[in-house]
A = this chain, B = another copy of it.
Amino acid sequence: MRIVVANINTTENITRAIHEQALGAAGPDTEILPVTPTFGPASVEGNFEGHLAAVGVIDRIIAIEEPFDALVVAGFGGHGREGLTELLDVPVVDITEAGVQLACLLGRSYSVVTSLHRTVGQIRDRLRLAGLDGRCASVRSVGMSVLELERDTARIGRHIVQEAAQAVDRDGAGVVCLGCAGLVGLAEQVQDEVGVPVVEPVAAGVGLTETLVDLRLRPSTIGSYSTPQRKDIAGWPLTRS
């Protein structure tokens, strides 16, 4: 099968890291097609950038010419998944939901550790709408931006280990889900140092997507996710070939 894995920002380095994660999780017969939006911010931290990223990722996905079997939206905190589900007839999986679902299978409660403090509220809202907040012990942040994380993996590792340890000790979490895409290799490090299972959300997204494709499950086309009516859309798509 062919799975598109979409970075939600325009930074190619992050796309590469996401690609690497996805490849590590994918089965032998799965082809991963990584894509990078050409519209939107270099990293997504907050509501304004999230609005742009949602449109950027939709714009990029509908421009894909080859057929694909499923889509993983690889931005933690949720960006455009609902709209894409309306447009596509293949599974669309948000790594936020995928990561947290696997975490729920591994322990009674989980914590998310993410980048900047300003995204904590957004992630909480996302989990609430997904109906996955009931077993959330906490959402913690390391106070570093996505682009800093990308640059200095060693330093970020220490910070994530520290917050993950506090999630376990103070908040009672039994599992940790990384709250950021593209942190290659960090899940293992945190797992080893903190002693609880750590879910890397891009890998989780790829695994759940493969399962949906294998079981021939496609998104619901009635109600909330039904195909949009045809109507004039000014300036759309952003990118014309």
Contact yes or no, B97 A105, CB < 8 A: yes
Contact yes or no, B231 A107, CB < 8 A: no
10 smallest CB-CB distances across A and B, nearest first, come from A131-B134, A207-B211, A107-B220, A174-B220, A47-B82, A48-B83, A121-B224, A131-B135, A39-B235, A108-B224
Q: What is the CB-to-nearest-CB distance from A19 to chain B, in angstroms, rounded to a whole number?
A: 17
Residues of chain B within 8 A of A222, CB atoms compared: 168, 174, 195-196
What are 7 A-B pairs at a CB distance below 8 A?
Answer: A47-B225, A102-B217, A108-B220, A108-B224, A200-B215, A203-B215, A204-B215
Q: Pick the residue among B109, B208, B228 that contacts A49 (CB under 8 A).
A: B228
Q: Digitize A107-135: 1 where CB-to-B-CB distance is under 8 Å, 0 elsewhere.
A: 11100000001101110010011111111
Q: What is the CB-to-nearest-CB distance from A128 to chain B, in angstroms, rounded to a whole number?
A: 7
A107 touching B25 in the complex, CB below 8 Å, given contacts A39-B234, A52-B55: no
Q: What is the CB-to-nearest-CB distance from A65 to chain B, in angstroms, rounded to a whole number?
A: 20
Q: What is the CB-to-nearest-CB distance from A239 to chain B, in angstroms, rounded to a whole number?
A: 9
Contact yes or no, A224 B107, CB < 8 A: yes
Contact yes or no, B45 A228, CB < 8 A: yes
Q: Which of A156-183 contact B (CB under 8 A)?
A: 168, 172, 174-175
Residues of chain B within 8 A of A108, CB atoms compared: 121, 220, 223-225
In the complex, A185 has a CB within 8 A of chain B: no
Residues of chain B within 8 A of A105, CB atoms compared: 91, 93, 97-98, 101, 208, 212
* Residue of A38, A58, A197 with most partner-chain B CB within 10 A: A197
Contact yes or no, B211 A41, CB < 8 A: no
Bound together, the chains give a CA A221 to CA B210 distance in angstroms of: 28
Residues of chain B within 8 A of A109, CB atoms compared: 121
- In the complex formed, the residue of B with least CB distance to A125 is B129
In the complex, A218 has a CB within 8 A of chain B: yes
Bound together, the chains give a CA A48 to CA B81 distance in angstroms of: 9
Q: Pick the residue among B27, B51, B172, B212 that contacts A83 (CB under 8 A).
A: B51
